[in-house]
Amino acid sequence: MHPLFDFDALTKHRARAARGFAAIAPVLEDLSARLLERLDDTSRRFTDALDFGGRGLTAPVLAARGLRVTSAEFTPAWLANAPGARHLITDPADFALPQAAFDLIIAPLSLHWFDDLPGALIQLRRALRPDGLFLASVPLLGTLQPLREALLEAEEELTGRVSPRVSPYPELRDVAGLLQRAGFALPVADLEEITLSYRAPLTLLHDLRLAGETNALSARSRRIPPRALFPLALSRLPVQEGRVLMPLKLGILTGWAPS
């Protein structure tokens, strides 16, 4: 089966983003904080946490809670943001995580680029100790939808053809089912709807680049896009009171390792 994502391209995008992501860091920290708030909903106390793909922003918050933290990243450059954590460089196919080593795993916006998401969830569940907690956030269907539609319409108008430029995202019921398939107990998937607001539409593209979230689809066009493509697409984004509003539909996933 042809892979949906080009992980080599993603790794390059992430490495480039790690060198200058300060402008987008507050947004990523806010999204991570929304996930970590779920820790306050349980009386369970944790000792050993895995920050899986948190770009080095989640590990310091976990350490401040008194946990021993391991940061796992595919792009080593992000680990520089988590100097106090144990560092682990993982492979996209085999995470090589120690089994039953953690009682808490946090995966903030780090699972949506995997072709084999069920397999990724199984690997993470196996890394949990019995009764360990898994928390993750993933973008869902509807995220960046105005941008997706504007790019498709502009490219078809200019060239007569279209190529995918925004990743497909799953539906909430899909990720809830995947948690159960991966063997998590008490699986829960909640929807949190966030609206990103921009004074200038070009800032949206800059933020996606700074977060390492630019196009890494295997089926993406390798041609140089027409110079008019992005200006035309951005001019068609919906504007409200002088600002471009972009939806982020966030799935908050919770599951426990069976006791």
In a domain, 105, yes or no: yes
246 assigned to some structural domain: yes
**pLDDT score for 75:** 85
Q: Residue 72: what residue type?
A: A
Q: Which pLDDT score is estimated for 88?
A: 87
- Confidence at residue 1, expressed as pLDDT on a 0 to 100 scale: 60
**What is the sign, positive or negative, of the torsion defined by CA atoms of 111, 116, 117, 119?**
negative
Domain assignment present for 21 = yes
Q: With beta carbons less than 8 A apart as the criterion, state whether 134 and 105 touch.
A: yes
Q: Express each pLDDT in 37-53 by its tens digit.
A: 999 989 899 999 999 99
80, part of any domain: yes
- Helix or strand holding residue 106 (H, E): strand 102-108
Task: Report if residue 162 sits inside a domain.
Answer: yes
Cα-trace Rg, the chain: 19
pLDDT given at position 258? 94
Confidence at 153, pLDDT banded by 50, 70, 90: very high
Range of the domain at 68: 7-256
State the average pLDDT over residues 254-259.
Answer: 94
Tell me if 2 is assigned to some domain. no
Q: How many domains does the chain have?
A: 1
In a domain, 67, yes or no: yes
CATH number for the domain spanning 246: value is: 3.40.50.150
> Is there a domain that residue 171 lies in?
yes
pLDDT at 29: 93
Flag whether pLDDT at 222 surpasses 90: no
CA torsion 219→220→222→224, rounded to 10°? 160
Query: In whole numbers, what is the pLDDT of the chain averaged over residues?
Result: 92
As a whole number of angstroms, the distance between CA 42 and CA 235 comes to 46
What's 60-81 look like in SS3? HHHHHCCCEEEEEECCHHHHHH
State pLDDT tens for residues 63-117.
999 999 999 998 888 888 777 788 988 888 889 999 999 999 999 999 999 889 9
> For residues 62 and 26, what is the distance between their CA atoms, to the nearest angstrom?
17
